């Protein structure tokens, strides 16, 4: 499956790279757009020294980890939210009769490699924060784990959003709230949110395991809201459970899909 995905993505990448100037401009533009979120954080810290009890570098660390995971997921899996367009146009039938899983085909359909600018920006911010904070070497192993965990969680959310569109074919904006909205929530320390909201983002929609809980472990901080320290290491298990649920929802959506007949 991985090889098939890479081959399909490479096909779209070659097509985009044929127009070099356009490709370069789109990459730069995507970098500038993503930098706006970073600019907001810098503006906040131009007027204060802490946010929710966290310093500027600590917030940049949380932002970088979340943004890197999200931009990777956005690049490789966000096309899943276009499935409602295929359902309404009848083009989903074409994906289903090919000897390649529909999930892979839809995820790579019109693959946009120019989003690499956003990935680079997030990686630079994360690298800067890690180098400036002087984090203990014994905890740095969690950094790639939390990015990978966040990537898997975001990919699962996009899969769930795609599966939901088998039912809500005319409401793609609703499911986008679970993907792009999740990214906005995880860019800041959860200590700035209400306690009930954080509980929901921990035990219902587990966004806390993208960068908050593992980030607390890396930073050597206890959760200001009193969540047990054991949650620091629960991210991979939570991601696995979410992937299984997303896979089940996707298969159910495909199984109950009825062709438009076009």
pLDDT averages per 10-residue partition of the chain, 262 residues:
66 66 71 80 91 93 94 86 81 83 83 76 93 91 95 93 80 71 89 91 92 94 85 93 94 82 54
pLDDT in tens, 113-142: 667 778 888 999 999 999 999 898 899 999
Instruction: Output b/e per residue, 169-183; b: 16+ Cβ within 10 A.
Output: eeebeebeebbbebb
Side-chain half-sphere CA neighbours of 229 within 13 A: 6
The three-state DSSP-derived secondary structure of 101-156 is CHHHHHHHCCCCHHHHHHHHHHHHHHHHHHHHHCCCHHHCCHHHHHHHHHHHHHHH
DSSP string across 193-239: S-HHHHHHHHHTS-GGGTTHHHHHHHHT---TT---GGGGG-HHHHH
In the block, residue with structure tokens 């306690």: 195
pLDDT value at residue 238: 95
Distance (Å, whole) CA 163 – CA 96: 15
Beta bridge partners of 54: 51
| Structural contact between residues 110 and 104, judged by C-beta atoms closer than 8 angstroms | no
**Three-state SS for 261?**
coil
Torsion, Cα of 205, 211, 213, 218 (10° steps): 170
For every residue of 58-97, DSSP letters joined together read HHHHHHHHHHHHHHHHHHHHGGGGGHHHHHHHTTHHHHHT
C-beta of residue 119 within 8 angstroms of C-beta of residue 34: no
| Cα-to-chain-centroid distance, residue 72 | 7
pLDDT recorded at residue 226: 82
* Per-residue pLDDT tens over the stretch 14-50: 666 666 776 677 767 777 777 788 888 999 999 988 9
């Amino acid at each position: 499956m991985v090889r098939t995905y890479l081959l399909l993505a490479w096909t779209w990448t070659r097509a985009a790279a044929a127009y070099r100037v356009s490709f370069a401009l789109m990459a730069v533009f995507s970098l500038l757009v993503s930098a706006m979120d970073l600019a907001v954080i810098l503006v906040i810290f131009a007027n204060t020294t802490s946010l929710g009890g966290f310093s500027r570098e600590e917030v940049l660390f949380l932002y970088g980890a979340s943004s890197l995971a999200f931009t990777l997921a956005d690049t490789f899996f966000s096309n899943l939210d276009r499935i409602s367009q295929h359902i309404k146009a009848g083009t989903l039938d074409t994906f289903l009769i090919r000897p390649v899983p529909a999930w892979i085909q839809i995820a790579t359909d019109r693959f946009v490699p120019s989003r690499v600018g956003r990935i680079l920006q997030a990686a630079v911010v994360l690298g800067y924060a890690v180098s400036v904070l002087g984090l203990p070497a014994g905890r740095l192993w969690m950094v790639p784990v939390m990015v990978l965990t966040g990537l898997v969680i975001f990919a699962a959310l996009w899969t769930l959003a795609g599966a939901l569109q088998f039912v809500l074919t005319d409401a793609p904006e609703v499911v986008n709230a679970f993907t792009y909205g999740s990214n906005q929530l995880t860019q800041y320390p959860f200590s700035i949110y209400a306690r009930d909201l954080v509980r929901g983002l921990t035990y219902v929609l587990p966004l806390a395991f993208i960068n908050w809980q593992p980030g607390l472990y890396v930073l050597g901080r206890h959760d200001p809201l009193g969540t047990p320290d054991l949650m620091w290491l629960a991210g991979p298990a939570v991601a696995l459970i979410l992937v299984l649920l997303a896979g089940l929802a996707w298969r159910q959506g495909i199984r109950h899909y009825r062709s438009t007949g076009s």
